[in-house]
Structure 1
C-alpha cells in the first residue's frame, strides 16, 4: 500500500508515560518477548499491556475440561527456561503456572499493566514515536503511553468472541448451549447427555475429559479430522532427563522433538497417501474391531493441510472404545427442544450442546494503526522477516507456527528484535521501516493452511512475498538461520535517525 506522510503528529505531552518498547499482550508471546528484552537489553524500558486482569492469555482465558497444549511441552516452553513437567502434552494449568514462574523469575511484575486495552496507536515520523491510546477494561478511564517500538503479542484470535455459527431453530433447545471460549465455572455435566459440535483440537480434548462423568458424550462432526495418539510420557525424554544435566537434556529433547515433527510434516506434504495410510492404521488399531474407521476418521484433505489433532495416551479412542463417547459424522438440519436433528433424520438427544466450532482469527487488528495520520489496513501490507509489516515503522509482532510449537517462533522473533535494537543503538539509528518496493515480488496469502479459522480471516491478514525477506514459510530452520544468524541490515529495511531534540528519557 502507499502511505502518505504528513510529518506531523500529536505533540509530546510531558505527562505522557514513555517506554522504549510497549508489548501488547501478556500471554506466552508477550511474556517471552519481555523476558528476552530483560536479559538481552537490560537498559531498555518496557511495559506489558493486556486487556485481561490476569497474565496468561489463552491459558488464563480458556477454562474448559481437558485444556492442554497441542505440541510437545518442551518446545512449547521457552528456550531459556527448561520445562520441568512430566507430561508430553501439558495441561493448561501447567502452562499457566510456567508463565507465572517466568514472570516471577524475571521480575516482570513491575512491568505489567493489566486490565488496560490498547485501542489505537499513531506513529509520528516527526517524533519517531508511537502514541498509544489505552482504555481501562473495567471502567471508562483512559490513558496514553508513548513508545519507540510497538510489539504485537496478541496471538491470532479474538479473546472476546469465538466463531459461533447460528444453527436453525437453536432457540428451541431447552438445555444449555456453550462455546468452549466462555466455559461456565459452575457447569455440572454429571449424568448429562452432551453433544459436542466440532472435530478440532478442542473437541478431541473435551470428549475424553467429559466422558467419565457425563451420561453420554457425542462428538458431532461435519467431516473427519486426522487424529493420532501420543504418549503422556515420552521414553526418550525421560531417559535423557535422567542421564544428562538439565540444560543439556532440555536442548537435546527440544531438538529431537522439533526434528521429529518436522520429518512428519515433510513426509505428510511429500507423501500424503503414505501418511494417510499410516494414520488410518494407527486409528484402526486404537478402535474396536469392526469400527467404521473410514466413515469417521478419513478426512477429505491431505495430512497437515490442516493441523493434526493429538490424543494423549489415546484417551479419545479409549472413550469411544469403552462406550462412554461416540462419533457421529453428518450435517445439522436444526436444533430441537431436546437435541440436534440431522439431515439424515437421525436425532441426537442432549442436555448440553458444546459448540466447539472454532475461533475468530484476529491478529494485528486488536488496535487501529495509523502512520502520520494515514490509517493502516494490515491486509495491504507485506510481512518482513515474519515479524514486521511493510510501511509500518518500529512495529513488530509474533505469529507462531501452524506445524510446530507457537513458542519456537516467539523465541526467534524476540531474539531478532533484541539484535536489531542493539544494532540500531550502536549505529545511532532510531527508526526501522520495511519497504516493499521490489517489482518482482509476487504476493500470496500469509498462511497456506486449510483450517477454517484461517480461511475465514484470509482477507484480513497481511501478505507474504515470493522471495527475499518477504517470504514466510512454516520452517523453523529457515527462520533460525534468518533471525538468529542472518544479517540485520537489508536493502528492504530503511534505518533512520530522529532529531536529538525529540529524544525522550526513559521513565521508570
Structure 2
C-alpha cells in the first residue's frame, strides 16, 4: 500500500508503472545498471497493476505463471494458472525481497513527457493525487450494470440471472465462478473463440519437483512451458486447418452430448489470429454441462429494462449485466509525448525491436507478447534496454534514438504491419484510431513473436543498426 515518502525529482531512469513489467524493469535496472539511480511512478495507491486493480470473481492469469512470472524469481506454487490474489502476493513479496518497493512513488500519475535535445533529458509532468475511476452505464437497463474493472465487492449475484457480454479471457473466467451461485449465467458473444483446456495441476510438474533438486526443477518446468507454448503457437500458424480440427475436437469433448458447435463454438478466424482462451480443468465447460450456464451468439439489437434483445429477436432476461468487453490499448498510459516541444503522433512512428519509438530518444516501451506470456517479451525488452544503457555509458554517449532513412521510410509506409499480430477488435480498433505505433516486415522493425530469438538478440544481437548514438 501507499506510504508517504520524499518526492524524488531528479533521477537517471524513470520507470512508469508498478505492475509486473515495471517491477521486472526495475530489477534489471538495479542489477545490470547498479550505478544509475531510478524511481518508479505509479498512478494508483498500490503495486500490482491488473492484479490489484481488477476485483471480479475468479480473476486469474491466462498464461502459466512459470513463464508469466519473473525469470529471476521463479513461481513455486503448484497451480500453473493462478488467481489474482496469489499473483498479487507474489508481486508484493518479490518487490519487497529485492527492495524494489522502496523505489515506488505511489499516486504519481504521468500526464506529459517532454524531451529536450539541448538539455539531453526528459522532463515529466506528474500529478500527485488519489485516482478516481468512473464509468457510464447502459441507461435503459433497470438492473445492475458492472464493468469487471470496477467490480463492486459487495455485489450480490446469488440466485440472480446474470448476462456476461463478451467472449475473451475475462468472460471465460467470470462465467464458471458466477455460475456457482447465480440462478443462470448467460454469455452473450458477437463471435466465438478458441479454447485450450489445461490441467489445474499438471502431474508432470509434480513429478519433476519430486525427482529433481529445486534449482533444476524450477528451470526445467519453466522451459517446459516456454517450449510448449511456442510449439502450440507455431503449429497453429503453420497448420491452421489441422489445428482448427484439433481444437474443435477438444471443445466437443467438453460440451454436453448433442450440443451443436455452430455457431457458439465455431470461430470464423484461424487459430491464434486472436488470443486463445485457457480454461483450467475445463471449468468453463463444466458450468454448461451442469446446466448453470448458457450461451447466445449474435449481435445485440437493444437493451431493455429487464435484459436485452438479440438481432435474431431472442430476448434474454437479466438482473445483472456484466460488460466484459471494450478493452482499449493505451500506449504509455495515455501520457502526452513531446520531442523539442513538438507532439509525437504514435501512428506515424515505427517500433524498433518492439520497444523503441522511431525518432524518440532515450525512451523504451515495455510491450509484451500477444502470442505468449506477456512478461517474456518484457524480460527481453529489459535485457535489451539495460544493455543499450550500459553501451552508452561505456562509450560516453548521452542519446540513442532509432531512425529510418528517407528511402526506408517510404518503403515502410507502403509495406507495414500491426504492432501486435492479432485481428482482435481491440487491436484493429487501436490501429484505426491511430493510438499505437506500427511495425515493419523485416529486420529490427518486425513484431516480436519468439522469446528464444528475441532474448538471444537482446543479449547478443546487433544494437547499432537503425539507431544513432550521440
TM-score range, shorter chain: over 0.9
**Deviation (angstroms), 1:438:** 6.2
Q: Distance in 2 between matches of 1:68 and 1:433?
A: 37
Q: Distance in 1 between matches of 2:448 and 2:36?
A: 31
Aligned counterpart for 2:467 among listed residues 493, 496, 503: 493
Q: Distance in 2 between matches of 1:382 and 1:114?
A: 31
Aligned 1:365-380 pairs, distance under 5 A:
366-380=334-348
**Deviation (angstroms), 1:160:** 5.6
The runs of 4+ residues in structure 1 deviating greater than 6 Å are none
Is the aligned partner of 1:400 residue 2:392?
Answer: no
Q: Distance in 2 between matches of 1:462 and 1:43?
A: 32
Aligned 1:350-361 pairs, distance under 5 A:
350-361=318-329
Aligned 1:76-87 pairs, distance under 5 A:
76-87=68-79
Q: 1:499 matched to which residue of 2?
A: none
Q: 1:340 matched to which residue of 2?
A: 308
Deviations 1:434-488 (A, max 9, x none): 1111624423322221111111101221111222222223221221221122133
**Deviation (angstroms), 1:295:** 2.4
Deviations 1:329-369 (A, max 9, x none): 12212112211112222211110000111311111352111
Is the aligned partner of 1:409 residue 2:383?
Answer: no
Aligned counterpart for 1:138 among listed residues 130, 146, 157: 130
Aligned counterpart for 2:418 among listed residues 445, 451, 458: 445
Aligned length: 457
Q: 1:433 matched to which residue of 2?
A: 401
Is the aligned partner of 1:50 residue 2:42?
Answer: yes
Is the aligned partner of 1:386 residue 2:360?
Answer: no
Checking the alignment, whether the CA contact within 8 Å between 2:44 and 2:130 is kept in structure 1 is: no
Q: 2:105 matched to which residue of 1?
A: 113
Q: Which has the higher contact order (CA 8 A, sep 6+)?
A: 1
- The answer to which of 253-262 and 195-204 deviates more is 253-262
Q: Distance in 1 between matches of 2:22 and 2:80?
A: 24
Q: TM-score, normalised by structure 1?
A: 0.87
Deviations 1:230-257 (A, max 9, x none): 1111122222222222232222222221
Checking the alignment, whether the CA contact within 8 Å between 2:329 and 2:435 is kept in structure 1 is: no
Q: 1:12 matched to which residue of 2?
A: none
SS of 1:320's partner is helix
- The answer to which of 245-254 and 384-393 deviates more is 245-254
- The answer to which of 334-343 and 21-30 deviates more is 334-343
Checking the alignment, whether the CA contact within 8 Å between 2:20 and 2:49 is kept in structure 1 is: yes
Checking the alignment, whether the CA contact within 8 Å between 1:161 and 1:181 is kept in structure 2 is: no
Unaligned 5+ segments in structure 2 are: 1-6
SS of 1:396's partner is coil
**Deviation (angstroms), 1:417:** 1.4
Aligned counterpart for 1:470 among listed residues 414, 421, 445: 445
Deviations 1:122-166 (A, max 9, x none): 111112110111101339xxxxxxxxxxxxxxxxxxx9678x8x8
Q: 1:454 matched to which residue of 2?
A: 427
Q: Distance in 1 between matches of 2:67 and 2:386?
A: 21
Checking the alignment, whether the CA contact within 8 Å between 1:50 and 1:114 is kept in structure 2 is: yes
Checking the alignment, whether the CA contact within 8 Å between 2:8 and 2:39 is kept in structure 1 is: no
Checking the alignment, whether the CA contact within 8 Å between 2:370 and 2:421 is kept in structure 1 is: no
SS of 1:98's partner is helix
Deviations 1:77-132 (A, max 9, x none): 01000101111211111111111011111112221111011111111111211011
Checking the alignment, whether the CA contact within 8 Å between 2:353 and 2:448 is kept in structure 1 is: no
Aligned 1:162-177 pairs, distance under 5 A:
170-177=138-145
Q: 1:227 matched to which residue of 2?
A: 195
Q: TM-score, normalised by structure 2?
A: 0.94
Q: Distance in 2 between matches of 1:259 and 1:110?
A: 35
Q: Distance in 2 between matches of 1:306 and 1:448?
A: 8
Q: Distance in 1 between matches of 2:235 and 2:186?
A: 32
Q: 1:218 matched to which residue of 2?
A: 186
Aligned counterpart for 2:287 among listed residues 306, 319, 339: 319
Q: 1:123 matched to which residue of 2?
A: 115
Q: 2:155 matched to which residue of 1?
A: 187
**Deviation (angstroms), 1:53:** 0.7
Checking the alignment, whether the CA contact within 8 Å between 1:201 and 1:310 is kept in structure 2 is: yes
Q: 2:4 matched to which residue of 1?
A: none
Q: Distance in 2 between matches of 1:493 and 1:227?
A: 41
Is the aligned partner of 1:330 residue 2:292?
Answer: no
Unaligned 5+ segments in structure 1 are: 1-14, 140-158, 497-508
Checking the alignment, whether the CA contact within 8 Å between 1:74 and 1:82 is kept in structure 2 is: yes
Q: Distance in 2 between matches of 1:269 and 1:109?
A: 40
**Deviation (angstroms), 1:46:** 0.4
Aligned 1:155-304 pairs, distance under 5 A:
170-304=138-272
C-alpha root-mean-square deviation of aligned residues, in Å?
1.8
Q: 2:3 matched to which residue of 1?
A: none
